[in-house]
Amino acid sequence: MIIISRTSNGRDFLFSSFLFFLFHLLFLFTKEWFSSCNSCNRDVMYAGSLGFGIASCAVNAGRGVFLYNFRVCQHPWAPSALAGRQQNVNHRDEVMEIIPTRFPGLWLIQPRVFQDNRGFFVETYNEKDFISHGIYYDFVQDNHARSERKGVLRGLHFQTPPAAQAKLVRVTRGAVFDVVVDFRKGSPTYGKWYGEELSGKNFRQLLIPKGFAHGYVTLEPMTEFQYKVDAFYAPEHDAGVLWNDPTIAIPWPVDQPVLSEKDQGLPLMKDFESPFVYSPV
């Protein structure tokens, strides 16, 4: 609520009013502009908006003309609100570590976990952090799978173009040995595999680009696996290769996995003509 107080000078009133709106407009403009600028330094973003907020508070408090119900000074980007967030501001770039692998386009994600006596809090996805690393995906579907037993193996799966999918995968309960195979023709890692243990304790994720086959085997019973994809499920484009293809030679930590009938009948890599082509950025 805006309250207008009396002043002994009409020009003083108009001048203060003008300054108030000028600084507040600049404050709002700066906030919105920096919010839309994914590559801007976040400390600069806070400092710029904070400066305009303080200026508008100071001008109006000094003139005694407007009392903005102290809401300007309590704006989320202003000092009183930032006081409790200062730790997040200082460490914002460390919240999610995005680590490249030797496979082009394949990233290991290690979120920062905030824990206390109540439990934990973690950011599992942050679009701005991804964009700051040149990673652009528009995820459209989230999937959740639970495996009752240890040794359940799902894979190796992918969707063919034009329904190919990039995936952001993680485990929220239990643990898996997660594997991807590069099927992009012309890639320096074509036909090679990469594996990582993902668990509800280590919070790791894999960002898998299009052109990779993906699979995992559970290391614990009652394991829950969740992932984002950037294309909808298309059964007519659903494909895969055999989990124990000798050409790929993945050292799965299980000899007799629990498999679906579908996964038992997948073809070998030598019998599959890959439709994926590697395009260096």
The pTM is what?
A: 0.68
Alpha carbon distance 279, 174 (integer Å): 36
pLDDT confidence tier of residue 280, bands split at 50, 70 and 90: confident
pLDDT confidence tier of residue 4, bands split at 50, 70 and 90: very low
Is 46 marked active-site?
no
**Residue 13 scores a pLDDT above 60:** no
Question: At 89, which amino acid appears?
Answer: V
222: left (phi over 0), alpha (psi -120 to 50) or beta: left
pLDDT per position as a tens digit, 203-262: 999 999 999 999 999 999 999 999 999 999 999 999 999 999 999 999 999 999 999 999
Q: Which CATH superfamily is domain 95-271 in?
A: Jelly Rolls (2.60.120.10)
Average pLDDT over residues 67-85: 33
pLDDT of residue 6: 41
Share of the chain above pLDDT 90, in %: 65
Is 227 marked active-site?
yes
Active-site position among 46, 137, 216, 227:
227
Question: At 49, which amino acid appears?
Answer: S
Active-site position among 157, 194, 214, 216:
157
Alpha carbon distance 143, 101 (integer Å): 24
In the sheet where 212-218 sits, what is the strand order? 193-199, 175-182, 212-218, 153-159, 238-240
Domain locations in the chain as residue ranges: 3-92, 95-271
